[in-house]
Amino acid sequence: MITLYDFELSGNCYKLRLLMSILKLRYDIIPVDFYPGRQHKSDWFLRLNPFGQLPVLRDDDRVLSDSGAILAYLAKKYDATGLWFPDDPALTAEV
């Protein structure tokens, strides 16, 4: 199961929600009170991402951070068409 640790106003979190929606993936959202709560600097969150940054995505036992890396991971794992992250390096450069 995919879980997104999310701050609704974050552009980087939005990119992940958008791609997962396009790919029709089912996922859970755990809201992180970025401001004023600063939950991204709490002990429980720092165990997920020691840098204390959003977004964080958990896919079963794999925990990923950095929106670009997560986008690439989701596209390679869940996009059977290869449209969102093609194998051809020239096409990948155009994405």
Could you tell me what percent of the chain has a pLDDT over 70? 99
pLDDT at 89: 83
Element (H, E) at 30: strand 27-31
Band of residue 95 on the pLDDT scale cut at 50, 70, 90: low
- Note the pLDDT tens digit of each residue in 25-67: 999 999 999 888 888 999 999 999 999 999 999 999 999 999 9
Contacts of 48 (CB under 8 A, 6+ apart): 5, 56, 58, 63, 65
Q: With a threshold of 0.95, does the pTM exceed it?
A: no
pLDDT band, very low/low/confident/very high, at 86 (cuts 50, 70, 90): confident
CB 67 within 8 A of CB 17: no
In the CATH hierarchy, which fold is given to the domain comprising 2-94? Glutaredoxin (3.40.30)
CA–CA distance, 56 with 72 (Å, rounded to integer): 14
